[in-house]
C-alpha cells in the first residue's frame, strides 16, 4: 500500500544508520515552519496533509525506511563529500554528484510537490520528504565526510556512555536540553528577529549544505575518535544546534511559500 506514494525507480547506494535531529528536532523544524507560512501556502499544506501536520509528518521518511520497498531511500538523507574542500570545490562537488543524496533529492521532491499534474498521493509524499530533508540539510554531520560515514565512525563518549559524533548531533545534544519539540519551537522562534529570518531565507539551498559542511569540519577537529566529551560541550555548542534548527524551520517555510503559495 505504501508503494503508491513514491516512484518505483530508485538508484541504490549503500546506506548507514542515521536520524538527523531525532524525532523532536525534526518536529521542531516543522513547527517553526508552520509559523512562517503564508496564508495560501498554509491552506495548500493543510489540504495535502488532511488531518496530519508538518511536525508529525517530518519523521515519516525515517519511519518508512524499515520497509523493504523504501530501503533505497536511505542515501537521500545526507551528502557525504571528501574532507578539506574549499567552498568552490564543495559547491562543484554538490552540483555534479549524480547518485541520490539529500541535495538532489530535495530538488526532485520540490519539483514533484509543485507539479499540480502529479497524483495527490505523490505530491503528499513529496511534501513529507521536503519537510524532512530540509531538516537533514541543517544537521552538520549530514554534510560530513565520506571516509567516516558522516561521523558515524568517530567513536566518542558523552555523559559516560559510548556513542559516535553523528549520533551526538542527531539526538544527544537535543535530549540533553530536555525540551519537547513544541517547547523547543516556541522558545527558538520567539527569539528570532524579522531581519534575520529574511536573511536566512534568501540564502540558496546549496549554501545550507556548505554551512553544515563548514560546521562539521570544526566538530571533527574538536572531537576525534576516542574523545571523552565532558559537560562543557553542550554550552559551547548549544547556540549552533539552536541556530541550525531555527534556520531549517524558516527556510522550509520559504520553500513551501514559493512552491505552494
Would you state the pLDDT for residue 261?
A: 83
Which pLDDT does position 2 carry in this prediction?
Answer: 37
Measured distance CA(148)–CA(74) in Å, rounded:
16
Superfamily of structural domain 2-7+17-260: P1 Nuclease (1.10.575.10)
Question: What's the CA gap between 104 and 94, in Å, rounded?
Answer: 8
Mean per-residue pLDDT of the chain = 91
Pairwise CA distance, residues 261 & 255, whole Å: 9
State how far the alpha carbon of 90 is from the alpha carbons of 48, 93, 244, 256, in Å. 35, 5, 19, 26
Question: How close are the terminal C-alpha atoms of the chain, in Å?
Answer: 30
Which residues are within 8 A (CB) of 50 and not within 5 positions of it... i.e. 6 or more apart? none
Q: What is the pLDDT of residue 66?
A: 84
- pLDDT value of residue 21: 86
Which segments of the chain have a pLDDT < 50?
1-18
- Contact at 8 Å (CB) between 227 and 168? no
pLDDT at 13: 32
Per-residue model confidence (pLDDT) at position 149: 93
Distance CA 187, CA 165 (A): 26
**Beta-sheet pairing, 155-158 with 161-164:** antiparallel
Q: Where are the domains of the chain?
A: 2-7+17-260
Helices (DSSP H) in 138-204: which residue ranges? 165-167, 173-177, 181-190, 194-201
* pLDDT value of residue 3: 36
Q: What distance in Å separates the CA atoms of residue 123 and residue 17, rounded to the nearest whole number?
A: 26
Contacts of 100 (CB under 8 A, 6+ apart): 10, 11, 13, 72, 73, 75, 76
* 26-85 pLDDT per residue, tens: 999 999 999 999 999 999 999 999 999 999 999 999 999 889 999 999 999 999 999 999
Amino acid at each position: 500500500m505504501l508503494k503508491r506514494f513514491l516512484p518505483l525507480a530508485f538508484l541504490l547506494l549503500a546506506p548507514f544508520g542515521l536520524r538527523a535531529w531525532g524525532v523532536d528536532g525534526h518536529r521542531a523544524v516543522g513547527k517553526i515552519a508552520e509559523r512562517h507560512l503564508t496564508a495560501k501556502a498554509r491552506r495548500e499544506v493543510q489540504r495535502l496533509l488532511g488531518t496530519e501536520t508538518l511536525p508529525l509528518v517530518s519523521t515519516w521518511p525515517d519511519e518508512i525506511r524499515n520497509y523493504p520497498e523504501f530501503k533505497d531511500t536511505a542515501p537521500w538523507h545526507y551528502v557525504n563529500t571528501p574532507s578539506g574542500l574549499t567552498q568552490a570545490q564543495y559547491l562543484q562537488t554538490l552540483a555534479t554528484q549524480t547518485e541520490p543524496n539529500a541535495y538532489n533529492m530535495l530538488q526532485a521532491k520540490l519539483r514533484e510537490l509543485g507539479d499540480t499534474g502529479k497524483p495527490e498521493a505523490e505530491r503528499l509524499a513529496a511534501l513529507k520528504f521536503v519537510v524532512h530533508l530540509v531538516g537533514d540539510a541543517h544537521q552538520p554531520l549530514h554534510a560530513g565526510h565520506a571516509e567516516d560515514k558522516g561521523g558515524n565512525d568517530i567513536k566518542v563518549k558523552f555523559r559516560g556512555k559510548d556513542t559516535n559524533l553523528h549520533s551526538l548531533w542527531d539526538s544527544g545534544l537535543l535530549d540533553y536540553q530536555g525540551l519537547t519539540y513544541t517547547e523547543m519551537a516556541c522558545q527558538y522562534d520567539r527569539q528570532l528577529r524579522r531581519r534575520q529570518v529574511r536573511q536566512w531565507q534568501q540564502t540558496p539551498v546549496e549554501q545550507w549544505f556548505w554551512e553544515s559542511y563548514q560546521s562539521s569540519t570544526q566538530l571533527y577537529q574538536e572531537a576525534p575518535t576516542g574523545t571523552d566529551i565532558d559537560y562543557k560541550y553542550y554550552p559551547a555548542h548549544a547556540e549552533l544546534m539552536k541556530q541550525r534548527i531555527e534556520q531549517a524551520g524558516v527556510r522550509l517555510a520559504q520553500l513551501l511559500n514559493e512552491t505552494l503559495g
